[in-house]
Amino acid sequence: MKGDYSMSVVRRLVLTGSHWLLMLLGGLGSAAPVWAAQVDVTAKYYPVSHDKYNFYNTTRPSRFCELLYLRCRDDKLFSADVNIVLTSTGEIRADHAIERQGVMFKVPASWKTIEVRNTQTGESHTLKARIAGFGFKSETEDVRKLVGMPVGSDPSGEKSYQALWSGGSFDTAPRPCEGVRVSLNSPEYFNFVWMTPVDGVCAKKANFNIPRIDFKEMQIVYQWESPDPWGMASGTYVGALTYTLGAGGEFDVGDILAPSENALTLKFTLDVEHVLNVYLPPGGNRVELVPEGGWQRWLQNPAHIPKRLFRDQTFHISASGRFGMRLICSNMYGEWCAIRNENNHSIPVAVDVSLPSGMVDSEGRPVVRQALRNDRGVKFQLGDYVDHKPGTLHFETNRLVDEMLREHAGSTYSGTITVVWDSEV
């Protein structure tokens, strides 16, 4: 006697949705107008095309990381252009006693936590970010005139910049900042980047009067620690962190410089595109339930009724995020799927799954013969990226086999069970 069973596989993966933005504004009165510059930080997780364990930052870098690519790669730094200009509102006096009356930067360099939410489901996760440095193109009148240097003796202006500032030019940053030279300069402008390892005030004292100094072409250097993509559902996650900017703000530039914006927002958009692929061998969607050792033993001795009919069907799975599994049954027998014959006699079929190493259940245990049902899904998590590893679907009936073989011998039992691997969990 032959039992016939067919199976189909459904895989579902939902990727992105509409964007929304959570703005966190601090330090500004409710009635004050807010002019904010925004840095859009974008990143993507798709393990097939790049690092299977981390997000890939897709934000276009500013000059800093373009010129110092190896340092940014090794120190996990990123840089971005910022549409902010600092304009001097008065003269900087030589040997000024108060640091706020000169060139002063107080940068919020400590780590901040940012909540990002799935734009479709509202699922939230947290990331961390910090300002690791900043840079400008400072512009003045000819620096040689400011310090009284004969023009012919200092064509590049480098000696004049060294003389203009206490402690040397902007290449030498005041502590706790650390200076990085990034490009050539001229007597009218000086490009610089100061790294900010810790919170603190970095101030330069002028040795000569400076009637005007402006800071343009701002760029920031930032670090960030992403959420664990394995624990995130597929989709787009958006969140933002806003720093107040200006005298007394989180990003304080002293009393002489006026920023063109009074807030700086870092907006993070993270796209998660998980891999969830299931591969069945040819013919694997048709399963025949047979007794131990096949049917020959029963045909030779009909009195020897087998206790169960079963089949183990191997599949291969690739996954980079959590997923669920459930059944859709064409026939039911209580809480089990069923197969039935032409006389509508049904027998229940239990379906279990064993998953490869790297996949665990909700309690963190290995998945060995986990029961699947049609009325509820079972969720699984990843302890590691799984790439085309084997798993097993276990089909078995150990009830009513005696009745089926004694009373319905010669008939064919069949049914369809759809096994759903679902990334929407």
pLDDT of 211 reads 97
Neighbouring C-beta atoms of residue 179, cutoff 10 Å? 19
Q: What CA dihedral angle connects 25, 26, 27 and 30, to 10 degrees?
A: 50
Stretch 70-80: mean pLDDT, rounded?
A: 96
DSSP summary character for residue 404? H
Task: Tell me the two tokens of residue 387.
Answer: 């790439």
Task: Tell me the two tokens of residue 375.
Answer: 């009325």
Is the pLDDT at 55 greater than 90? The verdict is yes
- C-beta separation of 34 from 217 below 8 A: no
Is the pLDDT at 15 greater than 50? The verdict is no
What mean pLDDT value characterizes the chain?
87
Stretch 393-411: mean pLDDT, rounded?
A: 82
pLDDT of 24 reads 23
Stretch 317-321: mean pLDDT, rounded?
A: 90
Is the pLDDT at 355 greater than 90? The verdict is yes
27 vs 222, higher pLDDT: 222
Confidence of residue 49 (pLDDT cuts 50, 70, 90): low
Is the pLDDT at 235 greater than 70? The verdict is yes
Share of the chain above pLDDT 70, in %: 91
Q: Which range (83-97, 155-169, 288-302, 362-376) has the least confidence?
A: 288-302
Confidence of residue 152 (pLDDT cuts 50, 70, 90): confident
Confidence of residue 50 (pLDDT cuts 50, 70, 90): low
Stretch 291-314: mean pLDDT, rounded?
A: 81
Cα–Cα distance between 335 and 289 in angstroms, integer?
19
pLDDT of 93 reads 97
Q: What CA dihedral angle connects 26, 27, 31 and 35, to 10 degrees?
A: -70
Radius of gyration, alpha carbons of the chain: 34
- C-beta separation of 276 from 157 below 8 A: no
pLDDT, tens digit, 9 for 90 and up, residues 242-285: 999 999 999 999 999 999 999 999 999 999 998 899 999 999 88
pLDDT, tens digit, 9 for 90 and up, residues 103-112: 999 999 999 9
Stretch 142-169: mean pLDDT, rounded?
A: 92
pLDDT of 203 reads 97
pLDDT of 19 reads 25
Stretch 378-383: mean pLDDT, rounded?
A: 90
pLDDT of 424 reads 72
- C-beta separation of 138 from 190 below 8 A: yes
pLDDT of 191 reads 94
pLDDT of 30 reads 35
Stretch 123-146: mean pLDDT, rounded?
A: 96
Is the pLDDT at 2 greater than 60? The verdict is no
Confidence of residue 407 (pLDDT cuts 50, 70, 90): confident
Where do we find the tokens 């599949």?
A: 315
Vertex 315, ends 309 and 318: CA angle to 5°? 150
Stretch 166-171: mean pLDDT, rounded?
A: 94
153 vs 55, higher pLDDT: 55
Stretch 363-388: mean pLDDT, rounded?
A: 89
Is the pLDDT at 7 greater than 60? The verdict is no
Residue closest to 167 by CA, chosen among 198, 119, 204: 204
Stretch 361-386: mean pLDDT, rounded?
A: 89
Is the pLDDT at 337 greater than 60? The verdict is yes
Is the pLDDT at 143 greater than 70? The verdict is yes
Is the pLDDT at 142 greater than 90? The verdict is yes
Beta bridge partners of 379: 324
Map out the domains of the chain with their CATH numbers. Answer: 5-13+276-422 (2.60.40), 36-272 (no CATH)
Where do we find the tokens 């690092």?
A: 51
Among left, alpha and beta (phi > 0; psi -120 to 50; other), residue 327 is beta
Cα–Cα distance between 353 and 150 in angstroms, integer?
84
